[in-house]
């Protein structure tokens, strides 16, 4: 019969072997994660979006639009051109006529720009940068017009929503949506009608020779619109700290809870979850998710590999950072 000390010695020996095996397992897991990363992100290359030869950038709207303001801030020395719609802007990039396009994606007061979210699903472009622009709307009228003259207000639907509280104070005003805030200002200038006004930027007022009848009419002093830079090149940088995904889940009880748990268990912070209806599936939804992370990290690649097995659809919208 073995003595107590001999048994303890064998237990210690066994513990050492177990620890050694655990260490080997950890190393193998790291190798697997790296291999999965290379496979799941094979289309993406690590390159700064400003390192390309950028000859042309497009934005939706006309000169003076908030998209135009952001475009000139980000690309002050690059040729810019305006197009009519968000889809036109994205198609210019896909067709190779422009390197990037600048698109608004959400507002802190009015929420997401749903048309843009739908286009991100359909179009083969990725987000390579984002920029937050503080928005202060003005009510613009023709020279000599007074606040009491106004009967009709033109602007983009998002701007009308952002100024909803102000507009409720003027129930006699008709509200008409146009494609763009600056386009609204241009219309007011061209029509030369003192009963018309536009909600747009102060820059639009200067460009189209309009008077500022009232300013800061969005009421929310923190009103901010987030713009994204879209590219057809699947790139990310070492500094990228936000990863955007689109997911479609099996329509099963607890599935969303389980999927969100995958991010938590891998130490990733979710910063946004947005749902959009799937038109061909009654009352089923796809999810747009933003997390903090970089495609070069093993926990990110591990999550992507798990998602491939668990969800019915997965698209990486981009890995990028905010431009200050």
The neighbouring-strand residues paired with 198 are 140, 154
Q: Is 227 a catalytic residue?
A: yes
Helix (H) or strand (E) holding 31: helix 4-40
- Contact between residue 268 and residue 292 where contact means Cβ atoms under 8 Å apart: yes
CA-wise closest residue to 280 among 245, 251, 311: 251
Contact 291, 245 (CB under 8 A): yes
Q: Catalytic pick from 227, 236, 263, 288?
A: 227
Q: Is 312 a catalytic residue?
A: no
Distances (CA, A) of 12 to 8, 16, 20, 23, 206: 6, 6, 12, 17, 81
Q: In what order do the strands lie in the sheet with 242-248?
A: 270-277, 285-292, 242-248, 313-320
The CA distance from 118 to 86, in Å, is 11
Of 225, 236, 263, 288, which residue is the catalytic one? 225
Q: Is 263 exposed, middle or buried (0-12, 13-18, 19+ CB in 10 A)?
A: buried
* Strand 45-46 to 196-200 pairing: unpaired
Token pair listed for 279? 């038109």
- Answer left, alpha or beta for residue 135, where phi above 0 means left and psi between -120 and 50 means alpha: beta
Long-range CB pairs of 46-50 (<8 Å, 24+ gap) are 46/235, 46/236, 46/237, 46/238, 46/296, 47/233, 47/235, 47/236, 47/237, 48/235, 48/237, 49/100, 49/128, 49/129, 49/229, 49/231, 49/235, 49/237, 49/320
Question: How far out from the chain centre does Cα 64 lie?
Answer: 22
Active site residues: 225, 227
């Amino acid at each position: 019969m073995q003595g107590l000390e001999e048994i303890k010695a064998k237990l210690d020996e066994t513990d050492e072997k177990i620890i050694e095996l655990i260490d080997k397992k950890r190393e193998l897991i790291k190798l697997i994660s790296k291999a999965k990363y290379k496979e799941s992100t094979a289309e993406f290359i690590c390159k700064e979006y400003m390192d390309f030869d950028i000859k042309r950038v497009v934005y939706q709207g006309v000169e003076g639009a908030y998209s135009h303001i952001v475009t000139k801030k980000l690309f002050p020395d690059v040729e810019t051109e305006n197009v009519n719609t968000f889809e036109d802007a994205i198609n210019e990039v896909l067709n190779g006529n422009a390197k990037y396009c600048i698109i608004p994606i959400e507002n802190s007061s009015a929420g997401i720009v749903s048309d843009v979210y739908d286009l991100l699903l359909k179009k083969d472009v990725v987000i390579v940068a984002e920029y937050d622009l503080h928005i202060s709307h003005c009510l613009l009228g023709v020279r000599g017009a007074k606040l009491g003259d106004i009967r009709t207000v033109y602007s983009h639907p998002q701007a009308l929503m952002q100024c909803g509280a102000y507009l409720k104070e003027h129930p006699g005003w008709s509200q008409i949506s146009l494609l763009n805030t600056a386009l609204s200002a241009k219309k007011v200038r061209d029509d030369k009608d003192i009963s018309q006004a536009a909600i747009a930027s102060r820059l639009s007022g200067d460009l189209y020779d309009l008077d500022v009848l009232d300013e800061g009419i969005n009421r929310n002093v923190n009103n901010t619109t987030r713009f994204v830079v879209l590219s057809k090149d699947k790139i990310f940088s070492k500094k990228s700290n936000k990863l955007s995904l689109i997911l479609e889940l099996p329509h099963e009880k607890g599935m969303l809870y389980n999927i969100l748990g995958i991010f938590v268990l891998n130490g990733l912070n979710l910063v946004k979850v947005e749902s959009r209806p799937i038109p061909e599936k009654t009352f089923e939804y796809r999810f747009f998710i933003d997390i903090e992370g970089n495609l070069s990290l093993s926990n990110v690649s591990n999550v992507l590999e798990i998602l491939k097995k668990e969800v019915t659809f997965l698209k990486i919208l981009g890995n990028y950072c905010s431009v200050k």
